Structure 1
Amino acid sequence: MATEQESQLSALLVPIQDKMLLVPNVTIAELINFEKPNASGDTPEWHLGQLTWREQTIPVVSFEIANGEEYRGDTANARVAIVNGITGQRELSFYAIIVQGIPHSVKLTESEIVKQDEKVGEVEMVAVQAAGEPAIIPNLDKLEKMILDFGLA
């Protein structure tokens, strides 16, 4: 049980293929129904295309492929999570990742997030147990750098 001195983090557990991402709740701007992104030429495999959201064209990426994993395609549960850019780059205010279901909100204290000794992928920072549930804290800085480096913003 958390003491009154422990501050709580409002977070989201975001389902992707075979795992959950743990992110602060301000990371996700909106969750929308899945729509197939418009293909956009010669781009990395993890770039699935572009979509228009609130009159802006934003890149859609597969977290799984960017992480060096297999992306099995869109499922009946697929949704699009619009992600707030965190690096402060004006040209990448938002981007989207395909998620597999609806994220759920959790309130966590620091003591409820326990680092796990698991190997992590290219765009993952650390594996954790968050309130007893296995999750991955993603390296969104690195993912955003990949998007910017390929001129996809």
Structure 2
Amino acid sequence: MNPIQQPAIKSLIVRLHKGSLILPVNLMAELVTGGELTPSEHPGVEGWLQWRNRQIPVVSLESLCMQEEAGESDEGKCLILHTVSTLPSLPFIALRVQGGLNTLDILPDTLRDDHSGNVQRCPYVARQVRASHLLCFIPDLPAIEAVLAEVLQLTAEQSESALLE
């Protein structure tokens, strides 16, 4: 009797300043090159990208994990993602990325947990794995989105208090 074969998950592998990320393809909205960021005073938010008449918060996993200052990408590429949370104020987020996108079909045995060099756990990384001999991070999108939701709440409150003054 054959065990039921689980379907492969079509995934993206994207390069960060240091390391790579694995994300499901269905979360990707668009890869944007260039585009000036409006500065942000909030830690973890590199800035705001104007995209399709929306302000999208741009985050860098490295700066969220405090591994380094936001690695300024030479290319200025942002990967726009659909969010996994149901917050109406946060339909999209953008991740700072480098290079192009590679796809990978992930089966249950494709990924191997890899704990090398993971001295301090970042709360925004769900798993550190090897995929095709490449060290990759699987981001904890609900945790990242929760932080951004707090930032958006703070921004809204600051805007309201500025209006009241």
What is the TM-score when the length of structure 2 is the normalising length? Answer: 0.81
Distance 1:59 1:46 in 2: 10
Distance 1:78 1:71 in 2: 16
Q: Which runs of 5+ in 2 are unaligned?
A: 157-165
Q: Which runs of 5+ in 1 are unaligned?
A: none
How many residues are aligned here? 149
Distance 1:77 1:101 in 2: 8
Distance 1:144 1:72, change over 3 A: closer
- 1:57 aligned counterpart, secondary structure: strand
Is 1:28 aligned to residue 28 of structure 2? yes
Would the aligned equivalents of 1:46 and 1:61 in 2 still touch at CA under 8 Å?
A: yes
Shift of 1:36: 2.8
Task: Output one character per residue of 1:50-91: Cα deviation in whole Å (capped at 9) or x when no partner.
Answer: 121111111112221111211354233331111111111111
Distance 2:81 2:43 in 1: 19
- 1:31 aligned counterpart, secondary structure: strand
Would the aligned equivalents of 1:38 and 1:51 in 2 still touch at CA under 8 Å?
A: yes
Q: How high is the sequence identity, in percent, across the aligned residues?
A: 23
Which amino acid in structure 2 is aligned with residue 146 of structure 1? V
- 2:63 aligned counterpart, secondary structure: helix
* Higher alpha-carbon Rg: 2
Distance 1:127 1:79 in 2: 23
What is the TM-score when the length of structure 1 is the normalising length? Answer: 0.87
If asked which structure has higher relative contact order (CA below 8 Å, sep 6+), I would say 1
- What is the CA RMSD across the aligned residues, in angstroms? 2.0
